[in-house]
Amino acid sequence: MIREFFYLQKSDRKVILTLLVVIVSVFTMIFLTGRDSTETTTQQKDSIKSRTSKSYNYSSYTPKKVERFTFDPNTADSTQLLRLGLQPWQVRNIYKYRAAGGIYRKPLDFAKLYGLTVKQYRELEPYIRISSDYLPASTLVKEKEGYSRKENKDSTTYQHPVKIKATDHIVLNTADTTSLVTIPGIGPYYARKIVQYGNRLGGYVSVNQLDEIDDFPTEAKKYLVISNPSPKKLNVNKLTLNELKRHPYINFYQAKAITDYRRVHGDIHSLNDLRLIKDFSPEVIKRLTPYVAY
């Protein structure tokens, strides 16, 4: 084939040589470019892997066992805030707020922390203690209840009352919000919820009924006792469907089943009369019994 090459005309030989040079040049460029691209891709992968690893290390942060202790959000350091169960990014938001001149003047101000959930605030609220250096001057006016209060159309400011000792107890059915907030773990929010739920029930017959309040701090139950419970009774033979379903233990379908039973069979003499109805399981009947009259 090489011998035949020399038999070609001079112009043809020049064309072939030119094509060969072009082909070799193209392959050389492809080889070099591919090598650089491979090195760049490898570096990019390493960089992405490094960033991903760092990101993973941050997102996989798991705090130690959550602790509960009093703290001032104006002065608490990052270690204390993390021990309380806050996430690192939430702690950074607190630091940014303070660095910008922000001040937490009352516990409710802490609820405005970006990213703080309602559940977190409810759990931390009883432990928030604002130093007197950061409180409004109006809190210097003391009231007989043991804490001072200034009311206006925008806000209400409280100083936290002294908490009761571990050996002290409060009677659940006669307690008001003022006495309930003296229980460790109970702030104004849960104090109101306890009173409101007790009114809806018609009175508590067991301290364990407090578990029916969303996210209730169970450790607070040991400070409460039931003394001679006498809950308000529901006359299941006289109340209307709408009146029956107002009780927390009776839903629409159960109230309808009661009124339907009365219409067909007459008065109810015992909740056991309803035991064959699917909406009245043994557990439901047991829970309702203290609140029912005939």
Q: Where are the domains of the chain?
A: 1-36, 78-137+147-158, 170-225, 234-293
C-alpha 27/C-alpha 262 separation (Å) is 95
Query: Which position has the token pair 């990101």?
Result: 55
Distances (CA, A) of 276 to 47, 63, 271: 68, 50, 10
Q: pLDDT, tens digit, for every residue of 76-118?
A: 999 999 999 999 999 999 999 988 888 998 888 999 898 899 8
C-alpha 283/C-alpha 145 separation (Å) is 42
C-alpha 106/C-alpha 95 separation (Å) is 17
Q: Which of the residue ranges 124-128, 135-139, 216-220, 287-291 would you say has the lowest mean pLDDT? A: 135-139
Q: Which of the residue ranges 2-6, 187-191, 217-221 would you say has the lowest mean pLDDT? A: 2-6
Contacts of 288 (CB under 8 A, 6+ apart): 249, 250, 271
3-class secondary structure, 293:
strand
The average confidence (pLDDT) of the chain is 81
C-alpha 169/C-alpha 223 separation (Å) is 5
* Percentage of the chain lying above the pLDDT 70 cut: 76
Structure tokens at 6: 């020399």
C-alpha 190/C-alpha 57 separation (Å) is 36
